[in-house]
Structure formats: C-alpha cells, structure tokens
Amino acid sequence: MTVDDVADYLNKPRSWVYGNWRDEQIPFRKVGQSLRCRPADLEKWLDRNNWTATRTTPPRQPGAFLFPEGAT
C-alpha cells in the first residue's frame, strides 16, 4: 500500500500519514525513495494500537482492476 492508500484507509490526510509514520510506528518500509506498507502489517498495527479505521470498504489492492468484472 502506498501512503495515499494508507491515508484513505485511515481516513486521515496524506500529510498526517507522512508527518506521523515514525512517531505512530506505522509499519512502512522504504522501497527506493517511496514508503510502502503491507495490508496485513497495517491491520496488525491497527489491532495493536486499538485503532479503528473508519473506511467501510477495504483498500484497493495493487494491480486490482478499477471496474468490477463485466462492468465495461
């Protein structure tokens, strides 16, 4: 997941994620110059920190199609 994906999932602005990822210990890893987070690691972090994501749908998985099957 990218920083934008995590921000959407947490219902926080992108600037909050960038500003707090070290202090909040969000499980990002550096990939080149980008930050990435595995969905399973984010879920574990949410559980450990008693966070509740307010998003009602799961984040889009990398490489997932934007349209459901048969919608085109």
**17, 7 in Cβ contact below 8 A?**
yes
Check residue 56 and report its DSSP letter: S
The residue ranking higher by pLDDT, 70 or 15, is 15
Give the predicted TM-score (pTM) of the model: 0.66
Q: What is the DSSP string of 2-49?
A: -HHHHHHHHT--HHHHHHHTTTTT---EEETTEEE--HHHHHHHHHHT
Residue 58 has pLDDT above 70, yes or no: no
pLDDT of residue 72: 45
Residues in the chain: 72
- Provide CB contacts within 8 A for 34, sequence distance 6+: 2, 3
Q: Tell me: the pLDDT tens digits for 14-52?
A: 999 988 888 888 899 999 999 999 999 999 988 888 766
